[in-house]
Structure 1
């Protein structure tokens, strides 16, 4: 847990962004796995964690803008709980750790909210993403769950996005510690990537590293020799010589801050010439986009730089042709890069995605593209100091997409389909770093994870 003053300051900063009313922050509940008492590991709601810091199910926080009071509603444990879990601190004791002195049982929250509503006060809440929370909000607010989306407070949504987007030194250190855990995960995966090993064995090993040094993985591990499938969670393949292993994985801290790293390595420890050529293009895209990442630069421009680097590199190999800028402007590069450069990172691996990409990654000046590929850029607005973003360009040879575009005669002025056909067995390569925007530029977070051809081959040789 961060110092008490961190949570007090966050709530006070939020007050400055809001006009009037109650700010309601439901914490998460336990979520059953396959029967009621067998639950998944508890994960607190990120925004409740940001403002109230308590990692306990069935809590709710309220900020009263008029009275200046903060509240935590939750239940103390009973004897049955103590028998199974041991003694637990009271709600009052927990609340004091985050600077809250007003507490009450969770059952009292409904009457508290309805009293405010009867007095004509506004109750602000954020977009819910769990069914259990929707049911709670329906009960507390009297709004049918199907209508909650319409009643979400945009004033609160924009205020929370503004505050959570800029990371302080404590948050930066927390994320950086999880990048260091990701270093252990990814270098271990590289050392294990040899013929005869099953993907699942590597997956389980690196998940164990995350649990040993941080917490659970920050998202389900993506690990596959079929890297052309962007989010491939099938781990059934046996590694073979000549394949590439793509690993996209990160760790989550006890305070729920995430890392998100991707590396791609050659099975057996040595890149062949074809693999090296494509890898070097992706690496150049990663480095060129990073060099452009600084305050005031729209991240959409960094995406374009990565896309043009990829198009130029593929043109040099005879896979693409024509004018590079024109090819990217028309979206021809998206056959090989069908996603955006990156997203925000923090308490969520896709930070604040539940609020809506249109509000987190864009603003009135910068709007999402409707073009295939670039439409999946989750973050396009201007960068500011304290922002954390991922930088994750890739090149993928997706046989089904190649066949579709070829049959449609799409972008024949920019794509050499005869050459592309010879890469349909290649798979995909992605290289991803976690980036902090600084006052003067940006820096890659954490211990440097092997990224160049020489670094990857060297760590795999150990």
Structure 2
């Protein structure tokens, strides 16, 4: 049961959203807004649906994940109205709605119909949600300008949102500890996944994303999606990227662990973690997030030199030759909120030297970002370097030794404060 302080913050949160949304509606010439929670689509040629979590703006207001066919009506100067879909049904259960203070601000009505409600005097109405599920709802559907403005309302988190994100980190850390213990005990990827779910008390289907759990060379596939049910003959490494949803809000945490006897790999992990903490310390108002990404590449270059993976080059030359991108091919992170890769992160395109970067903004108080440098031994990325003019600078013997460990990623969630940053993962 959430504590009174969190529930009070949630009431403040929805009041703040009312102000932000009223301003957005006025700026775009609308009088009211109807938000559809959405519903899970059915699999093609099947009578089973995909698992459902919810549409971002609906979660931003309510935190009610998994609630299909619900509708939220926002009007200037009036209480929002939430239609909660609760059909009389002997096939499925209706999840009860606990009484909480936010319901004094939002009027809750029950509905047995999945269709959009009939609205009294909606005036100029906008309707947003999955176009396939808006049905016969009247109003202008998904107006681009309004949607962009509403995305901006999610960029700077309220105190309630930050508390939810912090708690989601606390829960995830318990899972990561259990996963590490399972790895040390010799469990398979599947067994490690079960240990994580048991410790977090969360089904994987309800997690913010499919957990990445890779042993040995599987850790070198950035979004590795399978779980071997049998442990490898020798477990050399574990990379687990897994989070938790709490009241709709996501944590996104990655840890890497070296197996017994992997002293070289453990040393590289230690070096990357020191770099990762320095990058987290860069988070502050006024900092260009792209600069953090570029600083990560400089740090990766220094680490490649310090560990002997690359020799005979200055750190800046390692970056300029593109060698660091072969070891660290992704962006340094992204926004975090009710979506793992939260919205409005790229008002400008990613720069040419960081094509996969998901966030290109200058940091401001209230933003929550991930910081996740990596160092991987991916054959398809390293082979072109080893076949090119930079080949003589790479230590093939050490690369061959570490290749079977797959790679390293370390990821924390950091909120931008008025004076710097607060690492929600290290001090949730």
Q: TM-score, normalised by structure 1?
A: 0.77
Matched ranges for 1:214-233 at <5 A: 216-225=206-215, 226-233=218-225
Matched, 1:341 2:323: no
Identify the residue that residue 14 of structure 1 maps to in structure 2: 21
Number of equivalent positions? 412
Structure 1: give runs of 5+ residues left out of the alignment. Answer: 144-150, 353-359, 450-462
Whole-angstrom CA distance in 2 between matches of 1:104 and 1:188: 40
Deviation of 1:185 after TM superposition, in Å, equals 0.9
| Structure 2 CA distance for partners of 1:267 and 1:45, relative to 1, 3 Å | same
Please give the root-mean-square deviation of Cα atoms over the aligned residues, in Å. Answer: 3.7
Identify the residue that residue 62 of structure 1 maps to in structure 2: 73
Matched ranges for 1:8-407 at <5 A: 8-18=15-25, 19=27, 20-21=29-30, 22-30=32-40, 42-54=52-64, 56-65=67-76, 70-73=80-83, 75=85, 77-78=87-88, 80=89, 85=93, 97=103, 99-101=105-107, 109=116, 121=124, 123=126, 125=128, 133-137=130-134, 139-140=136-137, 152-194=142-184, 196-211=186-201, 216-225=206-215, 226-236=218-228, 237-241=230-234, 243-253=236-246, 255-268=247-260, 271-272=262-263, 274-320=264-310, 321-329=312-320, 331-352=322-343, 360-364=344-348, 367-371=349-353, 374-407=354-387
Is the 1:182–1:210 Cα contact (8 Å) retained in structure 2? yes
| Structure 2 CA distance for partners of 1:299 and 1:240, relative to 1, 3 Å | farther
Is the 1:244–1:265 Cα contact (8 Å) retained in structure 2? yes
Matched, 1:424 2:403: yes
Is the 1:27–1:59 Cα contact (8 Å) retained in structure 2? yes
SS in 2 for 1:183: helix
Is the 2:327–2:377 Cα contact (8 Å) retained in structure 1? yes
| Structure 2 CA distance for partners of 1:247 and 1:240, relative to 1, 3 Å | farther
SS in 1 for 2:276: helix
Structure 2: give runs of 5+ residues left out of the alignment. Answer: none
| Structure 2 CA distance for partners of 1:6 and 1:277, relative to 1, 3 Å | closer
Identify the residue that residue 424 of structure 2 maps to in structure 1: 445
SS in 1 for 2:254: strand
Is the 1:327–1:414 Cα contact (8 Å) retained in structure 2? no
| Structure 2 CA distance for partners of 1:33 and 1:386, relative to 1, 3 Å | same
SS in 2 for 1:25: strand
Is the 1:244–1:264 Cα contact (8 Å) retained in structure 2? yes
Whole-angstrom CA distance in 1 between matches of 2:63 and 2:172: 24
Q: TM-score, normalised by structure 2?
A: 0.82
Deviation of 1:203 after TM superposition, in Å, equals 0.9
The C-alpha deviation readout for 1:59-96, integer Å capped at 9, x for no partner, is: 1223245x756444455533x45x96479679xx9998
The C-alpha deviation readout for 1:177-221, integer Å capped at 9, x for no partner, is: 121111211111222223642221111111122226999332111
Whole-angstrom CA distance in 2 between matches of 1:241 and 1:332: 30
Whole-angstrom CA distance in 2 between matches of 1:293 and 1:87: 40
Is the 1:52–1:98 Cα contact (8 Å) retained in structure 2? no
Identify the residue that residue 457 of structure 1 maps to in structure 2: none
SS in 1 for 2:355: helix
SS in 2 for 1:161: helix
